[in-house]
Amino acid sequence: MFSEKANTIFKEVIDKYHEIDSVDQSFNNPYSDETHLLAHLLYRKCWIDTVQWHYEDIIRDPNIDPVSALSLKRLIDASNQDRTDMVEYVDSYFLEKYKGATVVENATINTESPAWGVDRLSILALKVYHMNEEATRENASEEHRNACQTKLNILLEQRVDLSTAIDQLLGDISKGNKYMKVYKQMKMYNDDELNPVLRGEK
């Protein structure tokens, strides 16, 4: 099943990141884009999400220097663009993979493409990792650990449900019962020509 592979790679990424646990560490993708394209894309996607998760932690420091906060906000913006681009790359992979499927007459399109489901699954892997940290943190109160364990159980159930839904969607696409498209996000605020502030208009 695709989701099993994806969840395994996401855990691999998150564990690897936390060996150093720094947003400034170098990125090395162990999967070749020539021989293991899907694994390469999934690893890169989750790495972006993992770094951004920690950017979001840092920027919420109430004592952060305003100049540093602005610099970090720029990094978060760039990371969001990378994240969106990776979703489109993953959807393009699936579109190519299933291009030979014969679409049945009454086939329907999903509200969410496969890769946006993968995006949610990657974020869910991060929630599971960090909630487990809190549920097992020795210097936390028993009440805190128990509350976090309850939340962790819900997250684990959500991961099963989301994994199942993604696998079912890909199965439906492969059989032609559903079809998909790659929708470009066309974000305007990063574009020099589309954002009036960036093109110098007041």
* Among 136, 130, 162, residue whose Cα is nearest residue 11: 130
pLDDT digits (tens, 9 = 90+) for 168-186: 999 999 999 999 988 777 6
The secondary structure element, H or E, covering residue 179 is strand 178-179
Is the residue at 67 inside a domain?
A: yes
Residue-range definition of the domain harbouring residue 37: 2-179
Query: What is this structure's pTM?
Result: 0.92
Is the residue at 37 inside a domain?
A: yes
Is the residue at 19 inside a domain?
A: yes
Q: Where are the alpha helices (DSSP H) in 60-189?
A: 66-97, 114-135, 142-175
pLDDT digits (tens, 9 = 90+) for 54-82: 999 999 999 999 999 999 999 999 999 99
Residue type, 197: V
Is the residue at 95 inside a domain?
A: yes
Instruction: Catalogue the E-assigned strands of 33-119.
Output: 108-109
Domain count, the chain: 1
Is the residue at 117 inside a domain?
A: yes
Is the residue at 88 inside a domain?
A: yes
Residue 109 phi, psi (nearest 5): -105, 145
